[in-house]
Amino acid sequence: MLNAFALAIGQLGDRRILSVLAKSVAITLLIFAVLGGGLWYGLTAWGPGDGNGGFIAAILAGLLVIVSLWLLFRLVALAVLQLFGDEVVRAVEARHYPQAAASARPLGWREELRVGARSLLRALGYNLLALPFAFLLMATAVGPAILFAAVNAILLGRELTEMAALRHRDAAGNAPVPGFGARGVLGAIVVVLLTVPFVNFLAPVLGAAAATHLVHRRGTAR
pTM above 0.75, yes or no: yes
Q: What's the confidence (pLDDT) of residue 201? A: 82
Contacts of 60 (CB under 8 A, 6+ apart): 39, 43, 47
Amino acid at 49: G
The DSSP H or E segment spanning 138 is none
As a whole number, mean pLDDT of residues 11-30 equals 87
Average pLDDT, integer, range 155-177:
80
Residue 173's SS3 state is coil
Give the amino acid at 59.
I
3-state secondary structure (DSSP) of residue 179: coil
Q: What is the pLDDT of residue 122?
A: 83
Domain residue spans of the chain: 2-221
**pLDDT single digits (tens) 41-73:** 776 666 554 555 556 666 666 666 666 555 566
Q: What is the pLDDT of residue 222?
A: 40
Kindly write down the DSSP assignment for every residue of 55-123, as one continuous string. Answer: HHHHHHHHHHHHHHHHHHHHHHHHHHHHHHHHHHHHHHHHHH-HHHHHH--PPPHHHHHHHHHHHHHHH
